Structure 1
Amino acid sequence: MIGIIGATGTIGDALLKRLVDLDVPARALSREPEKLRARLGEKDRTMIEVAYADAGEPESLRHALNGVNQLFMAMSNSPDQIVLETSIIQAAVECGVEHIVKISSPEFERKSPVAVAGWHQEIERNLSESGLICTVLRPYAFMQNLLRLAPLIAEQNIFFGSMGDSPCNFIDCRDIADVAAEVLTNRKASGQIYTLTGSETFSYPHIAGMLTVLLERPIRYINLPSQELYRNLIEQGQLPPWIANHVIEIQAMAIVIPERPTDTIRQLLHREPRTLAAFLQEHQETFSLSRA
């Protein structure tokens, strides 16, 4: 049985759909199981069990992991991440789970440290010392996160950042989910660390140009000093300081350590990754919401 922690997240939701398509049964662990059940389609309910579990309640984890031999773990980033994911790993060991697939982050870089990457680095270390088979997926920036820019783009035809014209790796969360499904269903692919990107890098000015063509109106990228972007994210974006700081750190890293695409998706899935152009086309209405 495959257990899924993070089933309501973007990657976890896509993984559930992929496993249903493959006719692979799974158990989705959630703090709000009734809400999750309500989201499942008719076929989904025949393939997907839903169980209550809270990473802060070890007994609930042990109960939900009973009979699970593989576990997918995609927790939302938070300051409690090390404690929560380590608790999950410990419960998995106690329950006889054999293989954990963890969503991590790009490798921690001392030249341009990112706090969240440091958290993941410690969790990866704990996982490697657990004695379980572990597969670590290290995706770069999610295409889906660009949708957070959509309200400002729709209303004012602008968006902000602080990484100038540095190239950035983007990946569709559905490709991450497809990789997760592959390593969960093909033991030959498990037990590795995979760095996941799309097939191209894109700077924010490049993305502004793509949106200009797609939306048939000028879209501008405005580069801000890091501290100004930090204040904007907190005051206008209503982000907690630690998340605003994370955005600043990952954009600074893209400047210090130029990003390059990998061919991991092609090697594992024997197809090309989903493209940013196709993703933006798929969500064209979202970027035009106020003009509909």
Structure 2
Amino acid sequence: MILVTGATGTIGSEVLRLLTAKGEPVRAMTRDPSKLSAYGVAGDFADPASLDRALDGADTVLALTAFGRALADHDLALVEAAGRAGTKKIVKISAFGTGETADEKDVRSWHHHGEQAVRESGMAWTILRPAGFASNALMWAHAVRAGEPIPNMTGRGGQGVVDPRDVARVAVEALTASAHEGRTYELTGPEVISVPEQAEQLGRVLGRRVETVEVPLEAAKDGMLASGADPFFVEVAMTGFAFVAAGGASRLSGDVAAVLGRPPLSFADWVRDHRAAFE
């Protein structure tokens, strides 16, 4: 039995689809199991009893905790519950660059304690560190449909944007095969790509020009605060934008190809398959 946490999210839902297609016995943990009536079980990272129920009988678990201040606590709670349940393997979805800083306003620090707990759990483990998702481009969909420019807070800085479908496929391999145990994989696409380059590729697929507009970080910060965003998360966003703009995320990995036996999907591949969202 494989327990998939975060089962209604971008990665979890695709992992669930792939596992069921393979005929694997699965259980999907979510706060609202009615969304997944065939496989769903109620569970909350902040409720140890619900974790115990969700993990009962699960040999393997996908640890996919939600972005937020409680992420590390949720990781630790899940690892502890998996230990109580006698779970044999845990695959953790982490983040690109984890452990490179201890700054709490940098997401590269958020998964560090969870990774450490997974490695010290006594279970077989695999850690996946994906780069920025191609699907993050969906935040531009309204602007693109309206013919407005995409706001660019990262200048010409690029990152190895990864298709979340590849992340899910690597996760399924790690969940179902022993060859990946004790490994930490960095998951990127095939190219380092900036926001202007993403806009150019969007335009080629859509058959029209897609513009970008440079937004200084201070202006972006003021706008987010004025909209009522949590000041802490505004600082997190600014740290992330500055990191990418400075070229900190501009490296690639061959791990997707090594695990899947084929090149990773490109941003253009993702756009072609999701063009309807921008039309």
TM-score range, shorter chain: over 0.9
**Distance (Å, rounded) in 1 between the aligned partners of 2:27 and 2:64:** 14
Q: 1:222 aligns with which of 213, 228, 244?
A: 213
**Distance (Å, rounded) in 2 between the aligned partners of 1:243 and 1:273:** 31
Matched, 1:59 2:49: yes
Which one is further off, 123-132 or 272-281? 123-132
1:41 equivalent in structure 2: none
Which one is further off, 121-130 or 53-62? 121-130
1:9 equivalent in structure 2: 9
1:250 CA drift (Å): 2.0
The structure-2 alpha-carbon separation of the partners of 1:65 and 1:110, relative to structure 1 and needing over 3 Å to count, comes to closer
The structure-2 alpha-carbon separation of the partners of 1:55 and 1:258, relative to structure 1 and needing over 3 Å to count, comes to closer
Cα deviations across residues 46-73 of structure 1 (Å, max 9, x unaligned)?
A: xxx3221111110111111111111001
Q: 1:174 aligns with which of 162, 165, 169?
A: 165
SS of match in other structure, 1:160: strand
1:253 equivalent in structure 2: 243
1:26 equivalent in structure 2: 26
The one-letter amino acid paired with 2:14 is A
Task: Verify the 8 A CA contact 1:157 1:218 in the aligned structure 2.
Answer: no
The structure-2 alpha-carbon separation of the partners of 1:262 and 1:252, relative to structure 1 and needing over 3 Å to count, comes to same
Which one is further off, 279-288 or 249-258? 249-258
**Distance (Å, rounded) in 2 between the aligned partners of 1:246 and 1:165:** 20
**Distance (Å, rounded) in 1 between the aligned partners of 2:197 and 2:102:** 26
1:74 CA drift (Å): 1.0
1:123 equivalent in structure 2: 114
Cα deviations across residues 205-263 of structure 1 (Å, max 9, x unaligned)?
A: 11122222222333211122212122334546x65444433332222112142512211
1:274 CA drift (Å): 1.5
**Distance (Å, rounded) in 1 between the aligned partners of 2:266 and 2:229:** 28
Task: Verify the 8 A CA contact 1:7 1:13 in the aligned structure 2.
Answer: yes
Task: Verify the 8 A CA contact 1:112 1:252 in the aligned structure 2.
Answer: no
SS of match in other structure, 1:101: strand
Q: 2:123 aligns with which of 132, 139, 147?
A: 132
Instruction: Provide TM-score, normalisation by structure 1.
Output: 0.88
Q: 2:94 aligns with which of 101, 104, 114?
A: 104
1:267 equivalent in structure 2: 258
2:84 equivalent in structure 1: 94
Name the Cα RMSD after superposition.
1.9
SS of match in other structure, 2:49: helix
Q: 2:202 aligns with which of 186, 208, 211?
A: 211
Matched, 1:282 2:273: yes
Which one is further off, 136-145 or 205-214? 205-214
SS of match in other structure, 1:206: helix
Task: Verify the 8 A CA contact 2:101 2:109 in the aligned structure 1.
Answer: no
The one-letter amino acid paired with 2:134 is M
Task: Verify the 8 A CA contact 1:165 1:203 in the aligned structure 2.
Answer: yes
Aligned residues: 277
**Distance (Å, rounded) in 1 between the aligned partners of 2:205 and 2:178:** 41
2:222 equivalent in structure 1: 231
Instruction: Provide TM-score, normalisation by structure 2.
Output: 0.92
Gaps of 5+ in 2: none
SS of match in other structure, 1:272: coil
1:69 equivalent in structure 2: 59
The structure-2 alpha-carbon separation of the partners of 1:249 and 1:170, relative to structure 1 and needing over 3 Å to count, comes to same
1:191 equivalent in structure 2: 182
The structure-2 alpha-carbon separation of the partners of 1:60 and 1:258, relative to structure 1 and needing over 3 Å to count, comes to closer
Gaps of 5+ in 1: 38-44
**Distance (Å, rounded) in 1 between the aligned partners of 2:26 and 2:122:** 23
**Distance (Å, rounded) in 2 between the aligned partners of 1:35 and 1:111:** 37
